[in-house]
Structure 1
Amino acid sequence: MIVRVANGEAVAVNGESLDRVARAYAVLLQGAKEGQEIYGLTVGVGWNKDRKMVDAEGELTPELMEASREFNEGLLRAHSVGIGPDTVLPVVRAAMAVRLNNILTGGPGVQPHVAEMLIAFLNKGITPIMPSRGSVGQADMTLLSHIGLAMIGEGEVDYQGRRMPAADGLKAAGIEPLKPFGKDGLAILSSNAYAAGLAAIAIHDAEQLLRTSRLVYALSLEGLNGNVSPLLEDVAKLRPFPSHLSATAELRSVLDGSYLWQADDKRILQDPLSFRTAPYLLGTFADSLSRAKALVEIQINSSDDNPGIAVGAEPKSDLAQARRGYVDGGAVLPTANFEPLPWVIAFEELGIVLAHHTTASSERVLKLNNPTHTKLPRYLGTENTHHAFLVVEAPLMALATENRMLAQPVSFDSRPIAGGVEDVGTNAPFVMERVRAQIDNSFTIFSMELLHAAQAADLRLKEHPERKLATATASFHDAFRQKVPFLDHDRSMTPDIAAGSVFLKGYALTN
């Protein structure tokens, strides 16, 4: 859903969700009226948490409301220190969609108008201009604050394809600027919605990569005239890792009907490891991706706010500290829920898996180019070529190297800030961006493998026309050949590689 909204789909929110937002806001106000110290409302944030900002004990007078508004607007302005290139608009929409979903849980405790404005922004085509750098990954406050600026009519927005001052965009869309109160400002900026939006997009793209890389590998195995013995069910059961059992079953299905299941005296007993161990890589990829997706879904469908509002919660103990923060209707509770480490670590693991996956892909290409392994012409050429796929190996290895570099962990590389209070970080956006770069590189690497796999399959079938590809790989091969023709004469491979990447990104969506 996040990816569909990122790409322009409107959102619809039911009344029950908006009612939950209103009830959470009432709990927050009740806590303030009872004189609670509430981070971001009655006291400051970060190192300034010891400073009293708004005296909310008692009734919420007009003077107090105005003081809170000034504090909230100042909070948004002061945190708007993002740097670097502008975030692309779909990612900003993803961040807003994630944050809206968080808010609808009630956990942030904002005015209902905050949720209503995010809905209007997404549905009326108002996208704040937001920098892409400056978050250390313990809430993306330096970036998301720019969304808050737009909500109060400051900064810039893209309104239906035109960049303009936020005030003009709001006026054109018929939206009144937000008058933030309570902890609206803190709730808008203090979340991991930017990194989570990136993560949601990465998960979507990685699922596409997994589907198509499975087909690429199967076609490569057919191009090699490889041995299917490592895919047999009884082989997998000898070492029954669940992900390996699943991967071998999927590959047996993909290769159903392939000539590889028929006898061939010239087929070698042991293929190179990049072919033999591919089921382990595909299974590990699927396993890692599933784990990352499950954790991101928790992040998107919950609240990472501090303090957090627990609507309807009651004390679980009579101890004074355990009862602190509870009021009639719920509780206002200090948290560390802005910590994204569980899913950040999962994405670092996914990055390592991607590096292994593309290293193996690049090695399979080298083997397909080598007649020692294929018994086909060197570099899969024809009598009309001089170089064929010789030079493709250079960009292939460059991208595989880049993917290994991008897989190096960075989540622990942080320094204390905010007077030493914020003394750990995760670099969550950086981790997500690196994995997204790896995924994009991976589509290109598998495009290059597909070029070779399809060429090898064509040469082999030309030599043995009685042989047949599997039903799934034949369909895949034929669809690819509609985009990239057989290489019979030397030509620039750059357009073919780009076309293959686009093909892989879209194939499973329409076939």
Structure 2
Amino acid sequence: MELDGAGLTCAQVHEAAYDGARVTIASLDRARAAWSTAQELTGPVYGRSTGVGANRGVILDKPGLDLLRSHVCGAGPLIPLARARGMLVVRLNQLLAGGSGIDPAVLPVLAEAINGGFTPPIQTYGAIGTGDLSALATTALCLLGELPWHPESPAAPAPHFPFAPEDALPFISSGAATLADAAIACHRLRLLLEAVVDVAAMSFTAVGASAEPLAAAVQEARPHPGQAAVAARLRGLLTQELATRVQDPYGYRAFAQVHGTVVDALDRATAAIEIDLNAAAENPLISGSLAWHNGNFHSVPVALALDALRAALVQTAQLSTARLATLMDPAYTGRHPFLADRPGASGALILEYVAQDALAELRHLATPVTTGVAVISLGTEDHAGFATQAARHALRCLEPLEIVLACERTAALRALNTPTPDRPLTDDLTASRHALAPHPPL
């Protein structure tokens, strides 16, 4: 995978993180240009010749590497190796975009760490969407040799880079860990949302739902792009335009409208994330012949997009549970209640309990993070985007959404085939989950 600071996608972050794709560097030209400019700067430059945060007015005659050492402080369990690897890929790509003023010699060493399987030990808690300072400071001290790499890193000689004091802030001033989590979540959610349409098609067929609401004329009358795309795909999966009822429940009749909205929300979130994956969101930004002090590190565009996406996921999950309810109803299936093999048996009833439990978790995770506030560093940092929490919650949404859809799929399969006597359904549900998302654990 060639990184050039311009074309990194969410799918590529996932590929590098989980599939072990090796990275190469296209060009160091933009990083070299910013570094060259940084050497010529005079006057106070934040983090290079001054302190940071509330210490921004303190001129440092002999800046050291204390900034890195002081910012290594996290809490909670270590994040999985793949997510830490994703962070390294994102930060490398951002530095290739130029603007940081860091010594470009660190970039090949960072690529060496990625390709060699070295990852830093990053703890879960320690950022609020204004920069993953602790995670990246930990990475820097691993490169310096002051901290050990993750215990599961190779036993081979570790990559090493002797950071100069002026390289400390340029290396850590980034939300790379947050962006990696957001990119991984969006990639997996895209695959899962595609599977929603396949599951819905099974339910449509099982209950004889009408395809009339999916007609092209209906979509053209209200041309939301996601709605039209979902309706077209579902139309292609249905073998005939069944119309056994004048109007079906919303789980069928409004499927394209609701699920299409989720697809649109995912597209907007992906676009926001991919802008930042390839942005020189550095503070200060070294551009032209100047250092521009700015707030491009602020994560609110990503945080708001992820808040909207998580809220939208609840809507599509709610419709899945609504379809699941119709699959239990003889009025729609023509079968015994709960798809049982005989009157009075429980059949697939328990699937509704499991689905509603997962849906409740999904609703909890949809609580917006962007309504929060944080004032720190003696009041000089008086706002936060909380994209870190938004991305973390987006990752956590994958499991309950998958479970809801697996419950619907398991019931639809039962409705489309001969019902079996009452028995444990755990294996059936597990098989459905694997069919929906055959991916390694997050």
TM-score (normalizing by structure 1): 0.80
1:270-309 aligned at under 5 Å gives the runs 270-309=247-286
1:55-74 aligned at under 5 Å gives the runs 67-68=62-63, 71=64, 73-74=65-66
2:25 maps to which residue? Answer: 13
2:182 counterpart (199, 218, 224): 199
1:189 counterpart (160, 163, 172): 172
1:45 maps to which residue? Answer: 52
1:23 maps to which residue? Answer: 33
1:48-447 aligned at under 5 Å gives the runs 48-54=55-61, 67-68=62-63, 71=64, 73-158=65-150, 161-162=152-153, 172-173=156-157, 175=159, 177-255=160-238, 258=239, 260-261=240-241, 267-310=244-287, 313=288, 327=289, 331-383=290-342, 386-447=345-406
Return the offset for 1:286: 1.4
Return the offset for 1:162: 4.7
1:482 maps to which residue? Answer: none
Return the offset for 1:20: 2.1
Letter in 1 for 2:34: A
Q: 1:174–1:372: structure 2 CA closer, same or farther, 3 Å change rule?
A: closer
Return the offset for 1:300: 0.3
Letter in 1 for 2:438: G
Return the offset for 1:174: 5.4
Return the offset for 1:384: 10
1:504 maps to which residue? Answer: 436
Distance in 2 of aligned mates of 1:157 and 1:203: 28
1:477 maps to which residue? Answer: none
State the aligned residue count: 427
Note the alpha carbon deviations across 1:258-317, whole angstroms, 9 max, x for none: 1x425x6xx11111111111101221111111111111111001122100122xx3xxxx
Letter in 2 for 1:151: L
Distance in 2 of aligned mates of 1:151 and 1:203: 30
**Radius of gyration: which is bigger?**
1
User: Which secondary structure state, in structure 1, belongs to the residue aligned with residue 119 of structure 2?
Assistant: strand
User: Which secondary structure state, in structure 2, belongs to the residue aligned with residue 26 of structure 1?
Assistant: helix
CA RMSD of aligned residues (A): 1.8
Where structure 1 has 5 or more consecutive residues not aligned to the other structure, the ranges are 55-66, 164-168, 314-326, 460-486
Distance in 1 of aligned mates of 2:14 and 2:228: 30
Q: 1:156–1:182: structure 2 CA closer, same or farther, 3 Å change rule?
A: closer
Q: Is the 8 A contact 1:132 1:143 kept in 2?
A: no
Return the offset for 1:430: 1.0
The percent of aligned pairs where both chains have the same amino acid is 29
Could you list the runs of 4 or more consecutive aligned residues of structure 1 that deviate by over 4 angstroms after TM superposition? none
1:490 counterpart (422, 433, 441): 422
1:442-481 aligned at under 5 Å gives the runs 442-459=401-418
Letter in 1 for 2:15: R
User: Which secondary structure state, in structure 2, belongs to the residue aligned with residue 418 of structure 1?
Assistant: coil
Distance in 2 of aligned mates of 1:425 and 1:140: 12
1:463 maps to which residue? Answer: none
Q: Is the 8 A contact 1:129 1:155 kept in 2?
A: no
Letter in 2 for 1:335: N
TM-score (normalizing by structure 2): 0.92
Q: Is the 8 A contact 2:369 2:386 kept in 1?
A: yes
User: Which secondary structure state, in structure 1, belongs to the residue aligned with residue 294 of structure 2?
Assistant: coil
